[in-house]
Amino acid sequence: MNRLFFALFALVSLCQQPIGAQEKPFIPQDGFVSLFDGKSLAGWTGSVASYAVENGNLVCIAGGKGNLLTEKQYTDFVMAFEFKLTEGANNGLGIRCPKVAEGSLHLEGIELQILDDTAEQYKALKPYQYHGSAYGLIASKRGSLKPVGEWNHQEVTVKGRNLTVILNGTKIVDANLDEATKSGTLDGQLHPGLARRRGHIALLGHGDRVDFRHLQITELPLDHTGDSLETVKKKLNDKTAVLVDVRELSEWNEAHVSGAISLPISSIQKGLDASVLLKLVPQDKVIYTHCRAGRRALAAAEELLKQGYDVRPLKPGIQELLDAGFPKAQ
């Protein structure tokens, strides 16, 4: 009787085992949200024909080219993901990109290389072309990629003008975009994407199979710029930046910096037509918003970012600017 009971118990236990081992559903880290549901390309747009879902992974298929972009745009964020390369594979992670399905997002946005840079065909790369590098802008530290066919874990932090890339636990990029390009770009090309403060995240296919999984992101709150007041002065003198005073007109009339643009936060929050805004505030310059104590500068920056401006809110208020030598309008 005991032998029969144990035989039946073993048979029932065997029947309850899964036929094929399956991974548990991916659960993002605390504070993160998933960018990929493991079943479809929901939330993505662009070159969808070049990507597929296989075994819960997002795959750039062999021969697949073009840009797969998130439908949502991001400003400052931390993104984590895993990727698996095939031999000689080439892809890229686009950040702050315009919504372009076909095109050079390494110029119009910023491309972080995803590359089997150990392949023979890449033995003569420039330093800014290796895996993890901001293409044409910043060279990465080499030696942390796992062998082809193994999963790598990468974390990218974009905060204002600062960029950090951690690959398999090793920091391979830690740079400020302005500092890295103050003497020109490494590839000698114009990179209009450097001026973008907001944009889509993209996977940039170059015809090779690359598998992705566990894509997750957390957005970082907008903070005051790290640019010093001396840096602000220099950019103003070089005519590469403008000051936008977001205080109300009564405050503006009491005192303001010479050459600043008046754009009250109340007007911004009511909603300005893009064409009207463009007449007031140039889009080809860095925009430094300021107020009395910094809070309204942040609120204004949030709105201007949505319009595509490279906006950097200042924490110092109007009196601090005047005390630091910014000329007072007469």
Tell me the C-alpha distance between 165 and 132, whole Å. Answer: 7
Residues 138 and 278 in one domain: no
Query: Within a domain: residue 275?
Result: yes
Residues 175 and 270 in one domain: no
Alpha carbon distances (Å) from 247 to 17, 174, 179, 193 = 67, 35, 31, 30
The whole-number pLDDT of residue 23 equals 60
pLDDT in tens, 286-322: 999 999 999 999 999 999 988 889 999 999 999 999 9
The whole-number pLDDT of residue 276 equals 84
Choose one of 194, 219, 244: the last residue of a domain: 219
- Report the amino acid identity of residue 245: D
Residues 203 and 276 in one domain: no
Residues 170 and 300 in one domain: no
The whole-number pLDDT of residue 57 equals 97
Choose one of 192, 219, 246: the last residue of a domain: 219
Query: Within a domain: residue 279?
Result: yes
Query: Within a domain: residue 311?
Result: yes
The beta strand positions in the chain, using DSSP E, are 33-34, 44-46, 51-54, 57-60, 65-74, 77-85, 90-97, 110-115, 151-159, 162-167, 170-176, 199-206, 210-219, 241-245, 261-262, 286-290
- 305: domain CATH number is 3.40.250.10
Residues 122 and 270 in one domain: no
pLDDT in tens, 39-70: 999 999 999 999 999 999 999 999 989 999 99
> pLDDT digit of tens for each residue in the chain (330 aa)?
455 444 444 444 444 444 444 467 889 999 999 999 999 999 999 999 999 999 999 999 999 899 999 999 999 999 999 999 999 999 999 999 999 998 899 999 999 999 999 999 999 999 999 999 999 999 999 999 999 999 999 999 999 999 999 999 999 999 999 999 999 999 999 999 998 999 999 999 999 999 999 999 999 999 999 999 999 999 999 999 999 999 999 999 999 999 999 999 999 888 877 788 888 999 889 999 999 999 999 999 999 988 889 999 999 999 999 999 999 998
Residues 199 and 245 in one domain: no
Phi, psi of 256, deg, nearest 5: -155, 165
DSSP character at residue 28: P
Phi, psi of 243, deg, nearest 5: -95, 135
Residues 296 and 243 in one domain: yes
The whole-number pLDDT of residue 49 equals 95
Residues 63 and 118 in one domain: yes
Q: Where would I find the H helices in 60-176?
A: 105-108
Choose one of 169, 189, 219: the last residue of a domain: 219
| Count of domains for the chain | 2
The whole-number pLDDT of residue 25 equals 82
Residues 54 and 132 in one domain: yes
Query: Within a domain: residue 159?
Result: yes
Query: Within a domain: residue 240?
Result: yes
- 90: domain CATH number is 2.60.120.560
Tell me the C-alpha distance between 188 and 78, whole Å. Answer: 29
The whole-number pLDDT of residue 24 equals 75
Residues 166 and 313 in one domain: no
Residues 146 and 264 in one domain: no
Tell me the C-alpha distance between 318 and 252, whole Å. Answer: 10
Residues 66 and 203 in one domain: yes
Query: Within a domain: residue 48?
Result: yes
Alpha carbon distances (Å) from 87 to 143, 144, 147, 209, 271 = 16, 16, 9, 9, 51
Helices (H) and strands (E) in the chain, counts: 9, 16
Phi, psi of 145, deg, nearest 5: -70, 140
Residue numbers of the domain that contains 285: 229-323
The whole-number pLDDT of residue 20 equals 41
